[in-house]
Structure 1
């Protein structure tokens, strides 16, 4: 007998087999899921319509199948030949010949009893005359016969998780077999998957792994260096942000000649060691002006995933690389400060970071972050969003570009920028507007006061 793929829904002609949930020779019950399939927009489980034994699986993972196609060869199960009944009848004949014939007839609602009720009933009817050792032995045999399919399924690849959770785990490159569920009947939830990928899963199944130390030591000399608290905390936050936020990065190059000329002039005339001239304070001012025009960048996605919280204050963070690790101090109320005040506070926060004197208040409350590699090297990179912010601007090293203007060749200074944004909140058009606006503002030095 064949099991044919039923109609999935109107207009769905082809689906892909993403996972096979049964094995050949496995006994299953009506409404048990046999396949996990995916369409362009959804993932779903295909249930069987009868109690049966899987004789042959006719499809493979990755196959494209259609409604009406044979997917399994099955054999119907006759309830009278069920192992539960066979075992019960044998025990009744051998041990309870004096039982009334009425008691030998299984109740009409036998199929609907729980496994515990079935086991308990067999125990009370067939072990009253056995010794303790014999009773334990017989009970073990009966349990094996009563729930063979359950035992088999628990030791197979069958996982108690919905199609959407399975798909979510695959998207995160996460092996769902290594996760234990916190939901009813140990069902795996999206939160369990996130906890596992973030390293917070306290109930992950034990999977023995060979130590990397042993592996590398077998190849040559090594040295183990533990992460300090700052590095460990940063690693956890960065991993959580990268795995839970759909990052997209917009790359661009902006002309920066006018600002470069201003910076050179300020460096020559500046005599205040507390206000060391840098490009970053000007970038901070430019970003504030963009947040006023593109409000979506000054927001956060609430924990429910359905609410965007817009902010009307302007606190901008900047990444500082120190010997102890990465810190992100925040300049508060940028809208109320001059470029000179921002520069003085910028230098003060850098010194505090280098001296390990930053406070919690110094590093919280940011609306957006700027990460600069301009004093090192490189052209573009993908900065990781500092959650719960929705964007981060990366700036790289300024370079000279040869251009033709009025029939003559000349050089101009170009700044590579990389804007990573949370695609759940911000779309590509807004990101392109951001980088374009940054290029326009950064060349209007009269705005950067």
Structure 2
């Protein structure tokens, strides 16, 4: 009997991916849990395993295709079923297995109840409810246009139905928001969400209603025809750049940024790195300024818990996190990736050096897992290896702060009635002004500078 391999829920909040590689061919015999395709999301590259053993009968996707959770990618002929039954026996089995429409409805209801216990599968239930919204909207318009439909009957093609289903999967809204849209007579599919991952909020629905049915959110300005002035080349954005563009736009629009600058004398730290780098290299890592900054920031987040938080404006509350996970920005050929160092406060500088070296290499090799990318509380972006004096990084939603680091330079510093050449590191702190005041930002930066210049004094202070 043929079995379908479908795209599973890849990770929380991720419902679409791009096929990056097909790992099997038609006619191949595969085992259960064997990887059959590789997909790329905004977070990582992931291999999708087969839920069954059998022979590949049909491959329904191609490299570069965008797929959603639940899409069929491969059809298998199960090994256990091949040449097992005669035609009559198969028919009898199929009759026994065949469910009535009533049984199917009961099964769907049970599945929904199970889904309510799993946050990761909640999106599927919401999209099903969105289908009801679309159906209600169609029923209302059907009565109004009944006469016209009689004159011009039309049927949706299978392609149109497929496109409708695809668009439904892109709608994210809570049951309360969907109910509000129904009460206001609004087709929720037409609203652009401003929440995390494009989620539609109650405010989006109200803004859409107040705007007379116009799309919420700013429109993309129309581009001119650049070819009028010279030769051009068009290249599609890869998946990482597409998601990054959406995320930074959302962060910039939703977070009121404030920027704080500072300079730290890291002459002592550079000496420390030089004295201990061989010991760290023996352990398999590279002793870097980023590793030291990660340890210093981890300590700072305990002293300034507001920077280790998130803000929920809908509930008007803050979420203070008791764990310290720090994102480290890594530049790759495909774009910017920001993997997470978990429990950074519980690790030594040597351990952090090894882990940062390993995860940065995984990022460059596109081998990050979903777990490597999730759960960060605060970000560090170090551009010192590239150059520059200062920059203002964008806060990574739903975090509330990010530290930017530029290249250190030698500057004369007045010490004990004399100018001395010292290595000065420029620091840039971006933070969410809804939660963090200017005084908090300045205090955090001052503590960071003191900790880099004299760690013992900072820890005692």
- TM-score w.r.t. the length of structure 2 is 0.52
- What is the aligned partner in structure 1 of residue 438 from structure 2? 428
Q: Which residue of 2 aligns with 1:184?
A: 184
Decide whether aligned partners of structure 1 residues 228 and 209 sit closer, same or farther in structure 2, where only a CA change above 3 A counts: closer
1:389-428 matched pairs, under 5 angstroms: 389-428=399-438
Deviation at 1:209, TM superposition (A): 9.3
How far does residue 270 in structure 1 lie from its aligned partner after superposition? Answer: 4.8
Higher RCO, Cα 8 Å, sep 6+: 2
Unaligned ranges ≥5, structure 1: 1-180
- Tell whether the 8 Å contact from 1:182 to 1:192 is kept in structure 2 after alignment: no
For residue 303 of structure 1, report the CA deviation from its aligned partner: 5.0
Quote how far apart the aligned CAs of 1:347 are: 0.6
Q: Closer, same or farther in 2 for the Cα pair 1:199/1:324, shift >3 Å?
A: farther
1:233 matched residue in structure 2: 243
Residues 262 and 449, structure 2, Cα contact 8 Å, conserved in 1: no
Q: Which of 390, 393, 396 lines up with 1:383 in the alignment?
A: 393
Q: CA deviation at 1:385?
A: 0.8
Counterpart of 1:373?
383
Question: How far 1:445 moved relative to its partner?
Answer: 4.8
**1:62-104 alpha-carbon deviations (Å, 9 max, x no partner):** xxxxxxxxxxxxxxxxxxxxxxxxxxxxxxxxxxxxxxxxxxx
Name the SS for the 1:274 alignment partner. coil
Any residues of structure 2 matched to 1:277-426 within 5 Å, and which? 277-304=287-314, 306-426=316-436
Q: Which residue of 1 aligns with 2:276?
A: 266
* Partners of 1:258 and 1:445 within 8 A in 2: no
Deviations 1:388-444 (A, max 9, x none): 111111111101111222332211111111111111110000100111000111223
The number of equivalent residue pairs is 264
The structural deviation recorded for 1:281 is 0.8
Partner residue in 2 for 1:242: 252
Residue 340 of structure 1 and its aligned partner are, at CA, apart by 0.9
Contact 2:280 2:353 in 1 (8 A): no
* Separation in 2, partners of 1:194, 1:270: 45
Cα distance in 1 for partners of 2:221, 2:299 equals 52
Any idea what the Cα deviations from partners look like across 1:157-209, whole Å, max 9, x if unmatched?
A: xxxxxxxxxxxxxxxxxxxxxxxx99837799xx86848xx799997569999
Q: What SS does structure 1 have at the residue aligned with 2:284?
A: helix
1:203-244 Cα shifts (integer Å, max 9, x gaps): 7569999963x6100000111111100110111111101101
- Give the Å deviation of 1:335: 2.0
Kindly tell me: are residues 230 and 208 of structure 1, through their superposed partners in 2, closer, same or farther at Cα, counting changes over 3 Å?
Answer: closer
Q: 1:440 aligns with which of 431, 443, 450?
A: 450
Structure 1 residue 271 displacement after superposition = 4.0
Mapping of residues 146-185 of structure 1, within 5 Å: 184=184
Cα separation, partners in 2 of 1:378 and 1:208, compared to 1, 3 Å: closer
Contact 1:299 1:390 in 2 (8 A): yes
Distance 2:439 2:215 in 1: 43
- Is the contact between residue 287 and residue 350 of structure 2 (CA under 8 Å) also seen in structure 1? no
Normalised by the length of structure 1, the TM-score is: 0.54
Relative to its length, the structure with more helix (as a share) is: 2
